[in-house]
Structure 1
């Protein structure tokens, strides 16, 4: 597809737990990430967002079953199908070079007995990065002198900036930030997402995975809302966050301070129970949905409908 850096088509991930048990972690995820854009994938913790990120980089455990497509366009006529790419391609061409990862809890991903500088220099050399360590430090708003500190000497914000610098070391076209603001106070959250948004230049883009809807609202140009393994709504952030079409999106916004602190009743379902819930109810959100009179089940499989550039997962009666 023209003008798309990363294209997901019905990506699904299942974890086999035994002969008759499985975790439905991601179900039929369809997304388009375009240059110059920040696509925020939001939803409650445990809905499958981080599993989706791991699937794109080939970092899933051995009991995972993956289907669908995830096409990475590298700026030439070539494209890489990430889900079927062999490990040498992922390790040699994708990770760090085409897709840079900002992991959860950045400080825990830094080697404790080495300075930040030594780790960043190593990444630059391994990835043939075009920028030096000091240049990258300044780019992410970090004093180059701080690179000579060990991880335990860095504040949470400093460690997060080092993680972003490491993700940028190979000059990737896509930055995949997986819950990059976990554990940070609000001013640091703002600085971190602003820094990530600055990397979405004319030929580069950011996939921001977060449960922090306020952070997503601050920087996202596009948004996709995930619930119990499924993307239930997607579209331009300005439209989705001001005029939500799916009741789950509306519920997330209602739980924010400016939405009145009105949490969604109930709890997300266990991902091991999704097959049973979908069979009995048709929709995994029905049991929490305010739009279902008397909590009557939906019928049929949910369908992701394209409505003029916005997408919504809908059942005929909902």
Structure 2
């Protein structure tokens, strides 16, 4: 099997506030491999977007990081959590690892045409490129956007067109790894499908893609692999067909049961506050098995590429 392009090991992020500590990410380990699209799913507030920021070194000054993130695109792995800003800005962000943001509207400058902004991005990332206008057109076509749309201002684009535009920005330097943080937020279903199909196509072309979403239908459509996050931790992980077809963790089972395709049965209760996590298993207050389970399990690797953090995996 081809080695990972990016990997994390026991990555944790804490934010120290005046009177509390936010446990945003706890002991997260995964690999992003070429040709694979890993979907990270979970309810809002579980730490998914903080994790994306940690991968790119974009955390605020009060963040405390433990564990590591490694980029494996050079002769030697580059540890990103300890890399200086000049390395992250000059060699990593936008070049080897690109971000597709949640909101295209806030990512684009409203008073300049999309083409002028894309050309500026190319000038920064690929200073030796001679034909920037032609490359802008090629990038637009690559993401399914009419090149003429580049000559419009951001407010003149539909939501789907704007999302394809920021995807073109992400591809400007032909990155190895693409991080997409809730890129379908606010889009209708046809545009959601087109966006995740475009990300899957990029994975099929040999890139490693991380898609962060709470949209289970989008996750099932695009994923080759899936990681389920709850209260800052990954609680289940494995090949998408296995996890979606036969979920083992009660939280994963609850997430899937809450979708329209599986009966629209909502999970009881609410996710815990990350600055006030319950002792033991964080899911226990909402778990249907809580009366007979009192353990706080770590994520354990299982056969066939799956991993699970549950004391009762036999009770499916």
User: Shorter-chain TM-score category?
Assistant: over 0.9
1:214-237: CA deviations, max 9, x gaps? 101001000000001000000000
Aligned twin of 2:6:
6
Counterpart residue number, 1:232: 235
Misfit runs of 4+, over 6 Å:
none
Match of 2:27 in 1: 28
Query: What RMSD over aligned residues (CA atoms) do the two structures have, in Å?
Result: 1.6
Partner of 2:109: 111
2: CA distance, partners of 1:219 / 1:12 = 27
2:36 is the counterpart of 1:37:
yes
- What are the superposed Cα offsets for residues 211-267 of structure 1, whole Å, 9 maximum, x if unpaired? 111101001000000001000000000000010010000000000111100011000
1 CA distance for matches of 2:205 and 2:222?
16
1:126 to 124, 127, 133: 124
TM-score (norm 2): 0.94
Residue 193 (structure 1) aligned with residue 196 (structure 2): yes
C-alpha distance in 1, partners of 2:188/2:198?
Answer: 15
Following TM superposition, by how much is the alpha carbon of 1:297 offset from its aligned partner in structure 2, in angstroms?
A: 5.9
The DSSP-based 3-state class of the residue aligned with 1:69 is strand
For 1:174 and 1:2, the matched residues in 2 are separated by 14
| 2:84 aligned partner | 86
Greater displacement, 76-85 / 40-49: 76-85
Q: Which residue of 1 aligns with 2:71?
A: 72
Aligned residues: 308
Pair 1:200–1:153, CA change in 2 (3 A): same
CA distance in 2, matches of 1:202, 1:117: 25
User: Which of residues 250, 254, 261 is equivalent to 1:251?
Assistant: 254
Contact 1:283 1:297 (8 Å CA) reproduced: no
Q: TM-score, normalised by structure 1?
A: 0.94
Partners of 1:217 and 1:69 lie apart in 2 by 29
Residue 207 of structure 1 and its aligned partner are, at CA, apart by: 0.3
- Asked whether 1:136 is paired with 2:139, we answer yes
- Residue segments in structure 1 that go unaligned for 5+ positions in a row: none
Query: Take 1:251 and 1:22, find their aligned partners in 2: how far apart are those partners?
Result: 28
Please give the alpha-carbon distance, in whole angstroms, between the structure 2 residues aligned to 1:147 and 1:180: 19
